[in-house]
Amino acid sequence: MAAFQSLNFNPTSISGCQLWLDSADSSTVLLSGANVSTWRDKSGNSRNAVYSLSNFASRSSSNSGIYFSNSYYTTTYTADVTNETLFIAFRSASPSNRIMLSSPNPNGRFVGIPDGGITPTYSVGFGKDSVTWGATVPITSNANVLTTVQFSSGSFSRISANGGSYSNYTALTFNSGSNTNIGGVLSGGSVIIPYVGVIYEIIAYNSVLSATSTQSVEGYLAWKWGIQGSLPTTHPFYNIAPNSANLPYPVNIPVPVPSQAFSLSTNPLVFFNPTTVPGCQFWLDGLDSSRFTLSGTTVNAWLDKSGNGNTFSRVSGSPSYSSNSVLFLSANSDLLRTAASFIFSATNSVIFYVAQVIPNGNFLDIISFPEVSGRSIRYGGAGGLVGTTSFGGDNNDFANNNYYINGSLNPATTTSIYTVPHLISAINVNVVGNTRVQLSDDFFSRFFNGRIYEVLFYNLGVTTNQRQQVEGYLAWKWALQSTLPSNHPFRNSPPGLSANLALSLGRFQGTSFSPRSISGIQLWLDGNDPNGNGVVPASGASVGTWVDKSGAGNNATSGTSPTFLSSAINNLGVLSFNGSTQFLSSTDLYSNRSFSVFLIIRRQGANNSGSNGMIGGSSLSTNQNMIILFSSGTTLRFAFFNNDLDYPSFPAYTGNTATEPSFLIEFTYTPGTRIIFVNGIQVALDGNTSNLSSSLGMRIGSWLGTPSSSLNFNGFIGEIIVLNGTPNLGSRQSIEGYLAWKWGLQGSLPSNHPFRNFSPPPN
């Protein structure tokens, strides 16, 4: 994969930035407890906002802004600007008598919430002081607001809210001889008319910016602070945030990915996720190789990403996975089918897919509904995909021509449209009843011939905007955006989704975080990919070598082979160890050094008479042999032999292999600190100061060289990551988030974990 080209918009990329106060950047907010002592300027001009008198402003978290209440801060930024464009993102707690920016002298520039006598009664305005200011625009009470102020001395003055049209005011000239202060007006040594509310960000320039530059800063602030939905629909950044390179999409990287990530902000723009549209019943994604159960390249199952578990299983033939898609050959009678039935209606059934036809002169059914009169979505015509062709289905399945090809309603079609990847939006599919769904069709032997890249089905209907969002997502993902109509809202940029919405829905769409990017990685064993190449063995097969994906070449081998199970944890593959004879060996990765071990495990039996070892050495010949094991039923032990750190309250084995939970377990060691984590929560710590000095190898599935029913692990291991050294907090939590979301454990992370609600972004 090519390196990610950063597209983070930076306000200083526009010349003339004089002041930039950003509450999302924790490094610029100096605190004493919750009190803000200094808010540092990021413009490069060192015009910091410094606590002066009255009450401190405060903050509770990095995305909460800075809360002012009778608080006063001074800056060295002039209040006597001659040309200026000023942006403030804020949320006022009061409808009147509140000054955000001021000078000590009435002839300086003031910005804030005007007196209650001003019309409109709830507005933001500016002028020379609280009496003479006049330009106001309406805002919403207690809501995040973006205001833009522009003026040129003696020529014009204007203000807008949330990127809307300007309200004009008398031409102004300022001559206070003082600087801009924040939080109220100073009179007689006291703060009067104090601002009560939150200020998120302030950015000022020493010129009247062009419309393009103004809208870029508005887009940046709106998406960052969750105001983008309040921008005018005609605003160029209503659907997507701006970027520093003026590009519509990150280049040289597969989609979907987060298309923006504002530095140190918790509110990036993340790529559109199809499950944010209500009613998604199944989602098959060819780009996500983790969602396939394979025998070689043959697809035994294509796993649903909607969260509903609607897997498509192989019924006949040998559909194969390659080139991020599933190849169906009609000659082989290739067919995948759901186990569950779905309720279809003529008005609410919507299917989207990306596919490519390989013409063979026959009718080709790509999607079929076996319980409803053999209906299908079909390619073909009298000439069998030669020249002008038909697309549709039996029994008028597309009522009123409600289908779109590459975003265009029922266009004239030729074979060439279908023999390359193309996007179909089948709206109001006229299939009424309860039926399973098939990819390909065994009715009249009209098996599909071609590739299927992605399929989405909704049972609640979609609005025009939702249809176009899904089309935009699929088109940009599969490089079809240039085939969309010129007036399609997502032809020039992909649909976006604010992180606030992603957080509230618990859905974040991104390419996978890779442990290989973490400094010091020595071993990465992935049970869902034991061969390390995306091709997994058949379920039930023995695994003699578990390939290290870290790049260090520390393969686990030379043992008694465990068994590969294709869908044991979260429908992903694992290695199953039988608790008596099975184990693998790797090299010594922990002697004479600090180290960290991450494990995904699930027990399939109670502790045996001794101690079930998940990780260990190969001999008892030293008292400094690292062992990770279960002991006495509810004790998780991190042992340097005869020198143990125990967590005695681990949940006991349930006695039911079908309901036994999985766990993310971590062990970190550096001289002076030895820690155990379970599901991202620290559960045990001690001050061990001795390095391990053995040069023994690592055993996986056992803790001694000789297999034994009292020493071997009885259960599944999904993934193992070993680091040389201990990661910093951000790296540790990124690995936890990656493993938790991959193995379905995100709900077990602590509520304040940064990746409980969405997976870590690409690194």
Convert the pLDDT of each residue in 35-77 to its tens digit.
Answer: 999 999 999 999 999 998 878 999 876 667 899 988 999 999 9
Convert the pLDDT of each residue in 165-198 to its tens digit.
Answer: 998 888 888 888 899 999 988 877 788 888 888 9
pLDDT of residue 243: 61
pLDDT of residue 39: 95
Exposure string over 222-249, b if 16+ CB within 10 A, otherwise e? bbbbbbbebbeeebbbbbbbbbeeeebb
Inform me whether the pLDDT recorded for 291 exceeds 50: yes
pLDDT of residue 708: 59
pLDDT of residue 337: 94
DSSP states of 600-664: EEEESS---SSEEEEEE-S-SS-S--EEEEEETTTEEEEEETTEEEEETTPPPP-S-TTTPPPEE
Convert the pLDDT of each residue in 115-136 to its tens digit.
Answer: 666 666 678 888 887 556 678 8
pLDDT of residue 347: 80
Percent of the chain with pLDDT over 70: 81
8 Å CB contact between 433 and 344: yes
- Cα separations in angstroms, 698 against 487, 590, 618: 60, 9, 7
8 Å CB contact between 77 and 97: no
pLDDT of residue 451: 95
Convert the pLDDT of each residue in 509-539 to its tens digit.
Answer: 444 567 887 878 999 999 999 998 877 889 9
Q: Among candidates 656, 569, 665, 652, which has minimal Cα distance to 604?
A: 656
pLDDT of residue 240: 67
Residue 254: which pLDDT band, with cuts at 50, 70 and 90? Answer: very low
Highest-scoring range by mean pLDDT, 137-146, 261-270, 371-380, 412-421: 137-146
Inform me whether the pLDDT recorded for 598 exceeds 60: yes
8 Å CB contact between 378 and 393: yes
8 Å CB contact between 149 and 126: yes
pLDDT of residue 450: 93
What domains can be seen in the chain, in order of their start residue?
Answer: 17-206 (2.60.120.200), 280-462 (2.60.120), 521-530+538-748 (2.60.120.200)
Structure tokens at 556: 């686990």
pLDDT of residue 206: 95
Q: Beta 269-271 vs 496-498: how paired, if at all?
A: antiparallel
Q: Beta 433-435 vs 422-426: how paired, if at all?
A: unpaired
Convert the pLDDT of each residue in 709-730 to its tens digit.
Answer: 567 888 899 999 999 888 887 7
CA dist., res. 613 & res. 607, Å (int): 10
Task: Provide the 10 A C-beta neighbour count for residue 698.
Answer: 22
Give the least confident one: 368-382, 617-631, 678-692, 695-709: 617-631
Highest-scoring range by mean pLDDT, 63-72, 232-241, 293-302: 293-302
Verify cis geometry, omega within 30 degrees of 0, for the bond prior to 421: no
Inform me whether the pLDDT recorded for 391 exceeds 80: no
pLDDT of residue 496: 61
CA dist., res. 433 & res. 454, Å (int): 24
Tell me the backbone φ, ψ of residue 234, rounded to 5 degrees.
-90, -5
Task: Provide the 10 A C-beta neighbour count for residue 175.
Answer: 12
pLDDT of residue 492: 67
8 Å CB contact between 655 and 602: no
Tell me the backbone φ, ψ of residue 577, rounded to 5 degrees.
-110, 135
Inform me whether the pLDDT recorded for 750 exceeds 90: no
Question: Mean pLDDT throughout 563-568?
Answer: 90
Q: Specify the amino acid at residue 333.
A: S
The full 3-state SS of 222-267, as one line of letters, equals HHHCCCHHHCCCCCCCCCCCCCCCCCCCCCCCCCCCCCCCCCCCCC
Mean residue pLDDT across the chain: 80
User: Strand runs (DSSP E) across 248-319, as ranges?
Assistant: 269-271, 280-285, 292-295, 298-302, 312-316
| 3-state class (DSSP) for residue 563 | strand
Task: Provide the 10 A C-beta neighbour count for residue 432.
Answer: 16
Residues in Cβ contact with 751 at an 8 Å cutoff, skipping those fewer than 6 apart: none
Task: Output 707 or 478, whichever has higher pLDDT.
Answer: 478
Inform me whether the pLDDT recorded for 744 exceeds 90: no
